[in-house]
Chain A
Amino acid sequence: MNDYQYDNQTVRGFIISSIFWGVVGILIGLWISIQMWAPSWNIAPYFTFGRMRVVHTNGLAFGLGIGAIFGIFYYITMRLSRRPLLFPKLARFHLYLFNAAITLAALSLFAGMNQSLEYAELEWPLDIGVVILWVIFAVNIFGTIIKRKEEQMYISLWFIIATVVSVAVLYIVNNLFIPAGLFKSYHLFAGVNSANVEWWYGHNAVGFIFTTPILAMFYYFLPKSTGLPIFSHRLSIISFWSIVFAYLWTGAHHLVYTPLPNWIQTVAIVFTMFLIAPSWGSVVNGFYTVAPDWSKMRTNYLTKFFILGITFYGLQTLQGPTQGLRVVSQLIHYTDWVPGHVHMGTMGWVTMVVVASVYYIIPKIYDTEIYSEKIANMHFYLVLIGQLIFSITMWITGIQQGALWKAVNPDGTLKYTFIETLVKNYHFWHMRTLGGIIFTVGMLFFIYNIFMTIRKGKALSAIKREGVR
């Protein structure tokens, strides 16, 4: 009997749950993208844009993102510690509690219970639930690492530890709220201070949910799936410490030109520029890892996902700092450029690496091969095309919006009323929905492929059991 089997089932449970929440989040994303150009798709009170947008962001960040992080981190930690989880039953309980929490989270957001801080919308009773989830996770991860049977901690474990510690600090501080009944609360902080705390959190939620955990996966699964060792251990050390140090200084680049004290904005912009270095440390490390044998891009289907993923990470970490600069911010801030930027990161980097990790894990758990590489390749090209259509159209419309808002007549009056600038977005918003549909179809190929692999794996293990008897 395999020691890992019970834990593997927990890992699989998290992966399937995260895929489920991913589907919910993506479908709601499509719906709200239609609402942008067809207001009749708002069905009050539960299905209006204002309520559904937060279900979309929370569903994907916490349902898909955190769900995948829980499952994949358990998987990686076991392998790098050379032992099963220290508390297998607790991990299983964690899985059930996670799904209960996400279900309640989605329902409460549909009901309009909303703290109004981006990525910290959940009301206070659910915040407590999230903290409990995180503590359970931390206990199991740390316990397993402490009792490991491998002396050195590999790069991925550093990123895992930093993620577990940082998210705890960020989440608790930003969610300090004054309760006013069970379903309502008010931020402990007010005005500019509230804004500063929120974006310290908001930007680092991106850092420690969409960056460090995904890097942990990247550093583990890229060498695993290509059979090529990481290019430079030293480079990964430098990248790691500088990224976890610099990230926390940068939140205020979301608040450029707001009433927040100018020096905080400037410090944030400077550190944001600095962040290019450690980000590209990982990009370079990824490229040079595959450099000895670029034919892997052709012969190993997973390499494409990882290399395109880290490429979008590289582009993201150049575009992001550029946006922080005042001269760029004043043009594109508050426009559709920003959702274009975010979706390159989430659809191009996070999802690419997560699905590739899942493609690696599921066959490993069942000791089999992926159901169809051909379908995986179809999936790859569809999500790539869908994401590019999405991001590029949003960048164009963002620049257009920014320029129209600034346009003046020769006599100095504004050239366009707000509604005139809005109407010019509609074509681009149609294109965005199209990009979203293509991406969604790609993800359906992925889900089908995973589902069929599990079916194949179950059939195989049934045969093996019969054979032993």
Chain B
Amino acid sequence: MAGAIYRKPILFAIVSAIVILIGTAVTMFIPMLTPQMHPKLENLKPFTPLQLAGRDIYQREGCNNCHTQTVRPLKTEVMRYGEYSKAGEFAYDHPFLWGSKRTGPDLARIGKKYPDMWHYKHFEDPRAFFAESNMPSYGWLKGRSLDPEDIKSHMDALSFPYTADDISGLSGKDEMDALVAYMQVIGIAVTKTAASEAKPRVKAEEPENPLAGDQKAIELGEELYEGNCEMCHGEHGKGDIGPSLVDNIFLYEEGDLADDDYFEIINNGTSEGMVEEGRTAKGGMPSFSDQMQKNEIWSVISYIRSLQKK
């Protein structure tokens, strides 16, 4: 009698439990027992004590409430952030921190995108970089020292490898150092090779700036410079986190570069060991090919040239 169940609460509870456990088993328990849920990229490494301490702070401050860490395999998303996320990148993420809301940009490919100094300055004052940013300032993390014993116990809980030097190296570091160290390791197991394949370096089509000396281009270039370049290269190209653009030293050697070299560096960014005109780069400059169109890049170059003449 099917109707009896509505008179027997214990039976009803048991049947309900079985009914909810069917979907649970098929979509959650059984997949968990298969290798497809435990992939690991070959060059993925467990977090170091400093990086884990940074990740703990990322969790504590609830960064995942505003920042995701998954790039979806959609064209514009790959253009904006970089190579789409792979299952094998997250084998050491306890828990995953993919998030569900992008009030701020995705961070899945933030690692090594900017130099450390960029992050220190940005955490301290996000509005110095983006005047209308709504991100809280995190300068207060500076000077809050880490507790090496605590971090050691966290490493042990996760069975991540570390050396005694790793732990003793933590004293003297503060929470900001740890958070920046974590930023720089996010998503780097994949980017190095795959991103450069996905986005081949583009050569400039013209050897010289077609917009050189054009007043309108200089004005547009100034505007673009303030929005994209000033946070690193300083006001009027005087240099800050990034090198000066008006001191006649380029890629660590005296002497100017040609227009097309400028174009290629802005368009493609730099990576460690990259060679441009016989000079070796140390990396740290992001690519602006997705943010700026060709004529916009040339306009920025016109603006930089106008600064150099002053």
Contact = CB atoms under 8 A, between A and B. Distances in A.
B143 to A, nearest CB: 13
A422 B133 contact: yes
Interface in B119-137: 126-127, 130, 132-137
B136 A419 contact: no
Contacts of A261: 31, 36-37, 87
Most chain B CB within 10 A, of A178, A189, A258, is at: A258
A161 B66 contact: no
Contacts of A36: 103, 134
A422 to B, nearest CB: 7
Chain A's interface size range is 35 or more
Contact of B138 (A44, A186, A264): A44
Nearest to B76: A406
Interface in A236-289: 241, 244-252, 254-255, 257-261, 264, 267-268, 271
Given A39-B135, A267-B26, A116 B59 contact: yes
21 contacts: A39-B127, A42-B136, A50-B63, A51-B62, A54-B62, A113-B60, A142-B9, A158-B12, A165-B13, A180-B154, A191-B90, A192-B87, A241-B19, A248-B23, A248-B27, A335-B101, A335-B102, A339-B101, A413-B79, A419-B130, A422-B134
Contact of A248 (B20, B97, B100, B140): B20
Interface of A: 35-39, 42, 44-45, 48-51, 53-54, 112-118, 142, 145-146, 151-153, 157-158, 161-162, 164-166, 169, 178-181, 184-198, 200, 241, 244-252, 254-255, 257-261, 264, 267-268, 271, 330, 333-336, 338-339, 405-409, 411, 413-414, 417-419, 422-423, 426
Contacts of A334: 68, 99-102, 106
Contact of B91 (A113, A115, A190, A406): A190
B19 A244 contact: yes
A184 B64 CA distance: 17
Contacts of A35: 134, 136
A143 to B, nearest CB: 10
Contacts of A260: 87
Contact of A50 (B62, B72, B87, B292): B62
B90 to A, nearest CB: 3
A250 B126 CA distance: 38
Contact of A200 (B27, B65, B89, B291): B27
Contacts of B268: none
A44 B136 contact: yes
B96 A190 contact: yes
Contact of B31 (A39, A190, A196): A196
A153 B80 contact: no
Contacts, number: 267
B70 A258 contact: yes
Contacts of B19: 241, 244-245
A115 B9 CA distance: 35
Contact of A405 (B80, B227, B292): B80
A418 to B, nearest CB: 4
Nearest to A188: B94
B10 interface: yes
Contact of A39 (B21, B37, B61, B136): B136
B157 A254 contact: no
A192 B40 CA distance: 11
Interface string B14-55: 001101111110111001100011110000000000000000
Contact of A165 (B17, B102, B290): B17
A249 B154 contact: no
Contacts of A264: 27, 31
Interface in B67-95: 68, 70, 72-74, 76-77, 79-80, 85-87, 89-95
Nearest to A181: B153
B22 A194 contact: no
A48 B294 CA distance: 40
Interface of B: 6-7, 9-10, 12-13, 16-17, 19-24, 26-28, 31-32, 36-39, 56, 59-66, 68, 70, 72-74, 76-77, 79-80, 85-87, 89-106, 126-127, 130, 132-138, 140, 150, 153-154, 156-158, 227-228, 289-294
Given A196-B28, A413-B292, A186 B36 contact: no
Given A42-B136, A49-B66, A161-B9, A184 B87 contact: no
Contacts of B62: 48-51, 53-54, 112, 114, 116
Contact of B97 (A116, A247, A339, A413): A116
Contacts of A187: 94-96
A19 B96 CA distance: 34
The 5 closest A-B pairs by CB, nearest first: A50-B62, A191-B90, A248-B23, A187-B95, A180-B157
Contacts of A166: 16, 20
A257 B150 CA distance: 37
Contact of A267 (B13, B27, B86, B95): B27
A241 B293 CA distance: 57
B283 to A, nearest CB: 22
A260 B150 CA distance: 33
Given A192-B96, A241-B19, 19 more contacts: A36-B134, A38-B134, A118-B100, A165-B16, A169-B21, A178-B94, A178-B158, A180-B153, A180-B156, A184-B56, A186-B154, A188-B94, A190-B94, A190-B95, A193-B37, A195-B90, A251-B27, A259-B85, A264-B31
Contacts of B95: 115-117, 186-187, 189-190, 194-195, 198
B93 A142 contact: no
A388 B214 CA distance: 51
A185 B157 CA distance: 8
B133 A419 contact: yes
A441 to B, nearest CB: 26
A343 B10 CA distance: 35
B118 to A, nearest CB: 15
B115 to A, nearest CB: 19
Nearest to A245: B19
B305 to A, nearest CB: 23
Contacts of B9: 142, 145-146, 153, 157, 161
A50 B135 CA distance: 10
Contacts of B39: 191-192
Nearest to A144: B9
